[in-house]
Amino acid sequence: MWLLGVFAGLALVLAATGIYGVSACVAAGRSQEIALRMALGAEVRDILGLIYRAILLPATAGLAVGAAAALGLGPLLKAFLYGVGPNDPRTLLTSGVVLLAISALAATAPAMRAALTDPAKVLRRE
């Protein structure tokens, strides 16, 4: 069980790193659009919402597919589970909330960096 916990933690760190990379790529790829929006009067919360939506919508869709797969394949793993049922709603809900929180936390730094950039510098650069 200890080894499974270590691997689960490692998988969570790798997932957070991947989400951070994707959100940084999204923010960098849309830098001109973000700068133009800011030059036209968009506020920091608008830019944050733009980046968060670009990251959290696919994460939510992936979570829904994963939950459906877990519900469908859970009975096959019943022999490996101890103290919890294969379709335990509390466990599925907790893991989903933790994954969404990790996704939001991983997207925070690139979203803040995109929202706090100087639009004039970005528009001059391109």
- 81, pLDDT greater than 90: no
- Gap between the Cα atoms of 11 and 49, Å rounded: 27
| CB 70, CB 92: distance < 8 Å | yes
pLDDT > 90: what percent of the chain?
Answer: 37
Q: How many CB atoms lie under 10 A from the CB of residue 77?
A: 10
| E strand spans, 55-101 | none
Task: Give CB contacts under 8 A, 24+ apart, made by 10-18.
Answer: 12/98, 12/102, 15/99, 15/102, 16/102, 16/103, 16/105, 16/106, 17/106
Per residue in 9-54, pLDDT tens?
999 999 889 989 988 998 888 889 999 999 999 899 999 999 999 9
pLDDT greater at residue 81 or residue 98: 98
- Gap between the Cα atoms of 48 and 54, Å rounded: 10
Tell me the domain boundaries of the chain.
Answer: 21-74+84-125
Put simply, whether the predicted model's pTM sits higher than 0.85 gets the answer no
* pLDDT reported for residue 72: 86
What confidence category does residue 126 fall into, taking pLDDT thresholds of 50, 70 and 90? low
What is the mean predicted confidence (pLDDT) over 106-116? 90
Side-chain-side CA neighbours of 41 within 13 Å: the count stands at 0
Side-chain-side CA neighbours of 96 within 13 Å: the count stands at 17
Backbone angles phi, psi at 43, to 5 degrees: -90, 170
